[in-house]
Every structure is written in structure tokens, then in C-alpha cells.
Amino acid sequence: MLSFLFRSISLGLVSAALVLIVSPSLRPSIIPQVIEQQVSNLNSLQVSFNQAVRRASPAVVNIYSQKYSDNDRSKLLIQGLGSGVIVSEKGYIITNYHVVEMADQIIVALQDGRSAAAQLVGSDERTDIAILRVEGDNLPVIPLNPNYTANVGDVVLAIGNPYNLGQTTTFGIISATGRFSNNTDGHQAFIQTDAAINEGNSGGALINTQGELVGINTASYQPATDMETYGISFAIPYQLANKIMQKIIADGRVIRGYIGVNGLDINSVTGRLIGSKSIGGVVVLRIDPNGPAENAGFEVQDIILKINNIKINDLQSVRDIVTDLRPGTVIDVGILRKGEEITLQVTVEEAIR
């Protein structure tokens, strides 16, 4: 928006300059008018993300998880507060696992005043994702752009229901991508933002300036010490949340592949330590004695180079490829062992947490 306005102003100044060059006699009268008009345009410039919020906010819902009272099984008490995002006309809602964990009943409140009991389709504790579904006509759906890539410095807005105050929007930028939060098992890359995410915001939408879903708000950074922190919050990338949703809709849960290896990324430092001239790949440091990799003949110090002819750059790429595979799938893993490239066939098993 800003670039469009500045382009318009610049075009106006250039056009005026051309007129003055062609007709010098007009200079005394036109110059003051042109300057005054352009200054007026700058003074009236107002940056607002109102349109983005208006596009996205109707699809961000309040979620109240309820649990039966221990003393009276007929009485439901609110035990959790959060937010969610309607991502499908069929009524599918993405929220956080921790928002609905252990809930006996889940109530969803839309911004147009409607409310309904939601069905829990499934959840995944590892990624902190839960999928709900509500019935209803003309449900608002948040704008989605699968081609959007989160970049550091992008302006984002977090929408949710902090402390049950009502729907609230906070503003910030993407501070980092590919972050690993202390709140997970280290397998999940988060978007880090300085947009405020407080209790009740969890499960809400992180959007860009077009109102498109960027991620699902999940947590604020809480260090193990008493040190206070500000402006460090995390969101689950939409692409990951959507992938988890599709798995849950298909199977009722997330089925992940597993081959049973762990290792270290090969960079210039680790390459020198292990005597490898190549940069990229993963050196195997641990093998599950009862896992598929052991059965396939893996050895410690093997260097994983490819999986099904896909080049491996780091351990995260191994996890990304393997976890998406169905158990029973046979894969070709290209490795480097003592200077010789060989291929091992591995039968993927299901990961059991």
C-alpha cells in the first residue's frame, strides 16, 4: 500500500516536471500547486490493516472447553479458554491441542453471535494441533494462500480472545522462522513473532497484511528462569497445521513414519571432524536396536545422502520425508560408508511416541 502511494506521488512529480520543461512559462504558477498537492497527499497518508482484519476476523472463533465437575457429574465447568480458526466451509476448525485437552465438551462461539457444541475430530500432541468440526450454514472461512512463504520482517497480526476479553488483534513482524520451542519435543519448526500472544490467544490466527492465514498462534516464550521476556511468541506454520489436519481427517489421528536413526548435520566443522569432504547430509550417531534402520544394516558413522533420490541437507529434512511416509513403505536410502556410496532398503514403521 505504501509503495503504491509513493509511486503515485513520484509519477505526479515526474509528470509535472515534464510539463514544465515543455512549457517554461507555466513554472511560476504550477510549481507551488504541485508541491502543495503532494504535501497534502503525504499528510493524509494513513497506514491501516483494517481490511486484512475484516477479511480474517469473522473466521476466528472463541473456544471454551468444559469438564464435568468431580462432585457433580451433571454439571459442566469451563476448564479452558482459547481460540480457533475456521478453515473450511465444511466447518473444520484448527486450534491447539492444549486448548481442548481433557475436555468433556467443547463450545465454539462465532463473532456473529452463533455458538455450537463442536466435535473433536482428532488431535496431535506433538504438534499441539487439534481439529474440531461444527455444523452451520454460511460459515466464515479465513482466506488461505498455500503459496505464501513466511519471511523475516513480514508484518503479521495475531487475532484471538486473550483472557476472554473478546476478540483482539495485536501487531508485529515475523522475527524468525524455523524456531524450535522448549514447549515441544524439538521436531517442530515454529514461526517466531513479536505480536503479543497471551492466554486465550492460543489456537487463534496469525495473518499477513492481506488477511491470509500465516500460522496458528500457540505459545509465548517461557524460560526456565524467572527472567521476564517480552515480544517472543510462536505460531505453527499454516502449511504444517494443514498437513496435520488432512492426516487427522483421513485417519482420525496422525500416522508418522519411523526408521530409527538419529544423527548430526554435516557442515564445514562436523565435516572436518569426521573426515568428510562433502557438506550436506547427516552422519548417523545412534541407531534404534529394534528399529527399521538396524534391520536394514545401518552402521554408526554412515552418512545419509539421499532418500528415494531426494538430496538430504540436514536431519530435519530426513524427519520431514520419513514422517510423511506410510508404515510399510520401502525406501531407498543412499549412504556414504568409508568412502563408498551404497544404497540400503528400509521398510518404514509407524512412529510410537
Catalytic annotation, residues: 98, 128, 202
- Per DSSP, the three-state class of 60 is strand
Buried/exposed 255-286: b ≥16 CB within 10 Å, e otherwise = bbbbbbbebebbeeebbeeeebeeebbbbbee
∠ CA 324-327-328, rounded to 5°: 125
3-state helix, strand, coil in the chain (%, to 5): 25, 35, 40
Angle, CA of 96, 104 and 187, to the nearest 5°: 25
In this structure, which amino acid lies at residue 129? I
Asked if residue 180 lies in contact with residue 132, where contact means CB atoms within 8 angstroms, the answer is no
Q: How many residues does the chain have?
A: 353
Residues forming beta bridges with residue 237, ordered by sequence position: 215
Q: Residues 317, 319, 322, 323: is their CA dihedral positive or negative?
A: negative
CA dist 314 and 306 (Å) reads 11
> CA nearest 94: which of 172, 203, 218, 19?
203
Q: Angle at CA 192, nearest 5°, toward 80 and 94?
A: 40
